[in-house]
């Protein structure tokens, strides 16, 4: 098949594009390179630097494309609090642009990568797709809004659409930006340097950490599985882990007990998050292969700097 992957140089985008290329598919990619990314792409991928808001460029890239996997987005929750208009422009406006270009180019299927963040703070766990969203950040609002645009435009344009709500993905190649870093790569870097780990809140909040290869498995299935148009599907590990569980796992792997500094002044987000993955299992034959420990060990093994600290 011929694919267009948006956000191609990002963490998930690069992993998916490289897997598709390795399995013999033709892959075109577009990314505006707004963040410096260490992720390398297979030389067989036709990469174009550009913005998903540039509809003429999108339309050109979409000639003969059968499936779009749309990952291009701004993804930092705290940053979205400061710049909600930018998150609306990129995450909502960019998604509408992709859907309009897909409609005009005759693309058959769009897989949209949404986020478990749309659920917000919910007492009932695990979270299933029927849970009423309570987005708590402009980022989450933008992802939920984009879902509705994808499904609505797809319905009227006769485009098959699938929305995947990905929870806390982690793995090799994940960036550690100077601010608002994702918790897993941040903790791994700090532990490898014998540094302190800053825990926001009391550390008892829970998250569903899902390894990148498991997410790629779900994205591939969403691209190829027939009869799932219009579906919204959770992608996680199905395991609820506290932030302190993560600290202890990393400490055990590095054989080092890091200093933990608690920061009660900064919000720690929802108190609990765990994905109900039964729908993914039923519709996508999805079966996560990596426990948290196994995923952390793989992430360390594939990063020379982290591996050297063991």
Q: Which residues form the catalytic set?
A: 139
Least Cα distance to 69 among 104, 11, 29, 23 occurs for 29
The count of C-alpha atoms lying within 13 angstroms of the C-alpha of 128, restricted to the half-sphere facing its C-beta, is: 5
User: Degrees (nearest 5) of the Cα angle 22, 26, 32?
Assistant: 95
> Beta 160-166 vs 109-115: how paired, if at all?
parallel
Instruction: Tell me phi and psi for residue 262, to 5 degrees.
Output: -95, 135
- Phi, psi of 272, rounded to the nearest 5 degrees: -145, 145
Task: Specify whether the CB–CB gap between 100 and 155 falls below 8 A.
Answer: no
Q: Which of 30, 165, 32 is nearest to 101 (CA)?
A: 30
- Where does 35-104 show beta strands of DSSP type E? 46-49, 67-70
Contacts of 150 (CB under 8 A, 6+ apart): 70, 95, 99, 110, 112, 161, 163
The region, left, alpha or beta by phi > 0 then psi within -120 to 50, assigned to residue 11 is alpha
The tokens describing 236, both together, are: 């996680």
> Cα(236)–Cα(223) distance, rounded to whole angstroms?
17
């Amino acid at each position: 098949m011929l694919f267009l992957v948006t956000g191609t140089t990002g963490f998930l985008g690069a992993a998916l594009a490289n897997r598709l290329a390795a399995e013999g598919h033709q892959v075109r990619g577009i990314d505006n390179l707004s963040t410096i990314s260490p992720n390398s792409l297979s030389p067989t991928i036709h990469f174009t630097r550009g913005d998903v808001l540039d509809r003429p460029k999108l339309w050109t890239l979409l000639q003969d494309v059968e499936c779009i996997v749309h990952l291009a987005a701004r993804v930092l929750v705290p940053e979205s609090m400061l710049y909600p208009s930018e998150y609306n422009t990129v995450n909502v406006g960019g998604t509408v642009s992709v859907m309009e270009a897909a409609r005009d180019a005759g693309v058959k299927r769009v897989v949209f990568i949404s986020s478990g963040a749309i659920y917000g703070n919910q007492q009932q766990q695990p979270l299933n797709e029927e849970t009423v969203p309570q987005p708590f950040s402009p980022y989450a609002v933008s992802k939920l809004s984009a879902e509705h645009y994808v499904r609505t435009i797809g319905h009227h344009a006769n485009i098959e659409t699938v929305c995947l709500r990905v929870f806390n993905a982690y793995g090799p190649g994940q960036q550690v930006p100077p601010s608002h870093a994702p918790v897993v790569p941040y903790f791994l870097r700090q532990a490898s340097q014998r540094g302190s780990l800053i825990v926001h809140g009391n550390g008892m909040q829970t998250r569903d950490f899902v390894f990148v290869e498991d997410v790629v498995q779900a994205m591939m299935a969403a691209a190829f599985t027939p009869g799932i148009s219009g579906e919204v599907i959770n992608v996680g590990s199905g395991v609820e882990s506290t932030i302190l569980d993560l600290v202890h796992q990393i400490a055990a792997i590095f054989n080092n007990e890091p200093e933990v500094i608690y920061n009660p002044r900064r919000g720690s987000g929802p108190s609990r998050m765990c994905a109900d993955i039964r729908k993914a299992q039923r519709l996508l034959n999805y079966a996560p292969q990596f426990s948290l420990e196994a995923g952390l060990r793989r992430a360390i093994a594939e990063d020379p700097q982290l591996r050297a600290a063991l």
